[in-house]
Amino acid sequence: MSIDTLDTPDLHLHPATTHPLLQPLNIGGLTIQNRLMVAPMAGVTDNPFRKLCKSFGAGHAVSEMIIADTALYARKKSLYRANFDGEIAPISAQIAGAEPDKLAEAARYQVDNGAQIIDINMGCPAKKVCRKLAGSALLQDEELVARLLDTAVNAVNVPVTIKTRLGFENGRENILRVAKRAEQAGIAAIAIHGRTREDMYTGNARYELIRAVKDSIGIPVIANGDIDSAEKAQQVYEMTGCDAVMIGRAAQGQPWIFRDIEHYLRTDERLDAPSVSEIKDIVLTHLQELYAFYGEYSGCRIARKHIAWYTTGIPNSNAFRQAMYGEESTAGQFKVVERFLQAHE
């Protein structure tokens, strides 16, 4: 079984007329099938995970970020991050950096590699990214932001989007100025996480500034932050008037959240949670894809976090995970996961 053959509903059988988030979205002349998007997450949104989320109805998924440094391009990890084999178009590759020339070079590299959209990371709050004055640290220097945007847009002939936050510090939110400058530079869409860098992932996402951005610019605005259910997707749409919603952490261990949202927006009814039997099929298929993509050593280790997310809340899962972490081979790992889930079907 592959991700493409998972028993998921054919979303194209249902005319997407009941809700704006189920309508196609135009980004720089490219058509996104619906407005339910997967947020780029380092170490998570690799090729198998993006394809899995799309199989459950996500209309768009952005890759993990690649740092704009040619010395890093040839590294094994970066080659995995730049692998778009078998993905549903349009393919979006995220890059991060603080030097305009290097960012432009990274954008061209990704276009040559098959990317049809370039996304610039201006929102990552991680210390190792901010120390390089990339990610959300860029929001401290609006002049540099403007140079980066202008250079990147002029470097490639594909749409350029950005993902960012409300600002670097609470009380100094500058997303309105950044968004207007982005539109001026020719950015095709902007995704906004409703927190500052200071917030990291604490507290609640704030949507009022996303609404203000939507009211002030003409390019698509994508709302991100704390969208963890179908109802919350609807609420965020109503609060922000956004053109799309972007789901990140809530998709970890439950990629079917996109199917749930689609169903709720189309029917106003909630889907039942998947059975353990269905979860087993999803997990084992995902594991096979990870093993094939990364190989024996890395596949086994990268799969561990996904297995932990999938099994959270299942009885005796803590003891199971400790045993699973000790498995050093893909075959052994696969068997213990299969046995554990079969025992709970």
Residues tagged active-site: 124
How far apart CA 239 and CA 16 sit, in angstroms, is: 21
As given in the structure block, the two tokens for residue 111 are 């276009």
List alpha helices for 17-139, DSSP H: 47-55, 70-73, 76-81, 100-112, 127-130
**DSSP tag of 312:** T
Count of C-beta atoms within a 10 Å radius of residue 239: 15
Of 285, 283, 287, 310, nearest to 299 (Cα)?
Answer: 287
How far apart CA 134 and CA 296 sit, in angstroms, is: 33
CB 103 within 8 A of CB 152: yes
In terms of Cβ atoms closer than 10 Å to its own Cβ (0-12, 13-18, 19+), residue 266 is middle
Q: Is the dihedral of CA 18, 282, 294, 324 positive or negative?
A: positive
How far apart CA 75 and CA 13 sit, in angstroms, is: 42
CB 139 within 8 A of CB 178: yes
How far apart CA 11 and CA 148 sit, in angstroms, is: 38
CB 154 within 8 A of CB 108: no
Q: Write 203-207 long-range contacts (CB < 8 A, 24+).
A: 206/166, 207/236, 207/239, 207/240
